[in-house]
Structure 1
């Protein structure tokens, strides 16, 4: 809207300047003709009068239509004409008719008006014409009409922009929801002709994604369920092996079964999602304290470095799953201490999970946040998993309009930084 207003103002100003430029010649011609007529009439009256009657005639002429006639003293200081194109053109046209020796000035003796010299025999005079103003006033009525036209144009542009921006805002909002894994609202398909086809295509795309996601979830849930049943039977069979069997082999089989069960559990977590859970105002410090308590029950001493208490809208169960996953990963890849920090900035709540594990290559940090991505390195060596843990965490972070980053620590280890906006979009 500001750009439209600026363009309108520039166009109105340009129109006035163009009109002034092309109208200057005829206006100067008309004003010069009027001034020359007054000067010639005054000269003729003085020539026709008796010399003794000229004083009275000057007084009589000065009372007509504001025109004044003064005796001239050419020794007086005469100001040059202002550097105005209209004034210069007017003086040029007057001299063409009265002679180049004609002296022309404005606002002489602080008396406003156009001063034109002429002579009668040996006497010199000034004619002062107040109605022909050298510094032509600004055409306020034109500016008024221009301002009115500009306001009407702005109102029309505002209405038009509103008709275009409103559907575009709906589209942006729906696309943002779709990007974050939420169900996008259907867009109206009876809007502007230019946007109805876009909205229709977006709705079809959203429906196709919903169907695809539903089919994928059904497939993963079915496969996970079907695999879990024989795994349970297999575990039961291993547990029932006689004590004569190799204890080491038995423990290895039980561990492998547990790893497979954990992978299936991650599949189900990824399929379930967290979109259905409603948000609540949650104290960050209370959330992290409960995290430490859960870890303590599992025999892990999690060290907390908490900032000030702060409430933020969260999906509590989803955030618990995210934090449990991050801390579980940290303990899986380090023998040392795991630290969780919280910090409140101007516009973010920042949670950091710090470990002293082997870290990850810098160029792999973004890739590991995608589903089914793993590293064949020291950090993942001999560790089970499907590559869905960080993908689930990243999905939950995006659902909260947040950001998850993997950062290698300078002294060794990994920092997983979760940034959550204080104000959701």
Structure 2
């Protein structure tokens, strides 16, 4: 529901056209591959070890297959020659009994070959080709092979009782005699060796990842403006060197921060006090009113620029997060401008509470409203909208000024940046948007700049609500090992 303040007439919805995958400050969808150095390196080593084991297995098979083929061919040739000899020397009446005994005791079946035999060839593999070539070399080129004779599976080899005979016989050897009996043992031992190597790789990589996680955690502490704990300068030389350099950097930053605070205090006292005396002197000088107003405006502009330098020099806000009704804050900020006669249209709901840093957020909104008034002029309307959308609180400040070209919007977020033509009236130090960007980033939010239909600029602040902030906090906690930061 709208408050008693005038409602805006700008129909553009807050945040319209935002792509959640490409908008700045929005986390991208998680990748399928691990993001941490530990698991990336571990999987890389695991892949290398697996490829190495597979390569050595193929190398071993490549050189072991010919020797094994010779041994198997010798066994097959011996069985065929013994079978042939037994059949030749056996009495004709007892050959049937001999064939039954060979089948029962040795698993060797012998059948006469016929032109109508249904045969299935052996698999066309390197090891099988080596075996058949070696058997043919020993038994003769007329030797044939099959994996199935009629409905019986096995290793079938043809032979002749006499080389001059045209009649062939088939002898079947059980497939078990040709299989590699130690294949399972090799697989078990290879898998065990790979497992031991992977455990060792994990332990080695963890020695690197743990110090890096500590370094990333301390870097986030430095990024938040606090002094990190002292990192242990132990371990491998490279890790110890990095830890020592980081500790030195953290100490230098702490001293620089203390010096900056001292300088800011001196600037605030030494510059603003003479400016106050200068303004008082101008007002009491008796000069024409137009000259007095112009000089007072210059003094106020100088005071405002000094304030921007001080705000930017303070760095990240250190005020804790507190529950705040953004509706009340927006209405309080808009009222003084309305009392000055500026047309400020406010569109807000009944209530919208979220944890924020009240003073820095107030400063950011004032910067946006001041920019809108300065560049649009006090005779043009200013629009302020507040909405709750998709887990975010959106605050929009829109004006009817000259606006910012699309190509320059990202550049305008940088400190000490001003346009040459679009919004140049040109006063200020170019720190307003940089200060707002920094304050909103400290809330895990983002600042969006967009052109306004009909001319002007829309500055949209995205602040995460309490549920969204809690979800992001959980994401940060779970992503510490990945050295990620929202």
Taking structure 2 as the reference length, the TM-score comes to 0.75
**Aligned match of 1:222:** 266
Q: Name the SS of the counterpart of 2:120 in structure 1.
A: coil
CA RMSD of aligned residues (A): 3.2
Following superposition of structure 1 onto structure 2, how do residues 186-201 of structure 1 map, counting pairs within 5 Å? 186-201=230-245
Q: Partners of 1:165 and 1:409 in 2: how far apart?
A: 48
CA distance in 2, matches of 1:104, 1:376: 90
Q: Which residue number in structure 2 is paired with residue 395 of structure 1? A: 438
Q: Which of 187, 209, 218 lines up with 1:143 in the alignment?
A: 187
- Tell me: CA distance 1:51–1:323, structure 2 relative to 1, closer, same or farther (3 Å): same
Q: Which residue of 1 aligns with 2:371?
A: 329
Gaps of 5+ in 1: none
Report SS of the residue matched to 2:171: strand
Offset, 1:193: 2.6
Per-residue Cα deviation, 1:326-361 (whole angstroms, up to 9, x for no partner)? 112112221322223456666865543211111245
Total equivalences in the alignment: 419
**Secondary structure at 1:207's aligned position in 2?**
helix
Q: Give the structure with higher Rg (CA).
A: 1
How far apart, CA to CA, are the structure 2 residues paired with 1:272 and 1:378? 29
| Residue from 159, 163, 167 that aligns with 2:211 | 167
Q: 1:134 to 1:223 in 2, by over 3 A?
A: same
2:128 maps to 1:87? yes
Match of 1:413 in 2: 456
Write out per-residue CA displacement over residues 164-205 of structure 1, whole angstroms, 9 at most, x where no aligned residue: 223223334444554565545543322433222122212222
In 1, the alpha carbon distance for the partners of 2:196 and 2:457 equals 61
Which residue of 326, 329, 333 corresponds with 1:290?
329
**Matching residue within 80, 92, 97 for 1:39:** 80
Residue correspondence of structure 1 range 2-17 to structure 2 within 5 A:
2-17=43-58
Runs of 5+ unmatched residues, structure 2 = 1-41, 474-485
TM-score normalized by the length of structure 1: 0.85
Q: Which residue of 2 aligns with 1:99?
A: 140
Describe the superposition over 1:10-46 as per-residue Cα deviations: whole angstroms up to 9, x where unpaired. 3332222222221110111000111111111122222
Whole-angstrom CA distance in 2 between matches of 1:147 and 1:280: 57
1:329 & 1:406 partners in 2: Cα distance? 13
300-309 vs 91-100, which moves further: 300-309
For 1:401 and 1:271, the matched residues in 2 are separated by: 20
TM alignment of 1:21-420, pairs within 5 A: 21-120=62-161, 124-131=168-175, 139-179=183-223, 181=225, 183-240=227-284, 246-280=288-322, 286-299=325-338, 300-305=342-347, 313-334=355-376, 335-342=379-386, 350-361=394-405, 364-375=408-419, 377=421, 379-381=423-425, 383=427, 385-409=428-452, 411-420=454-463
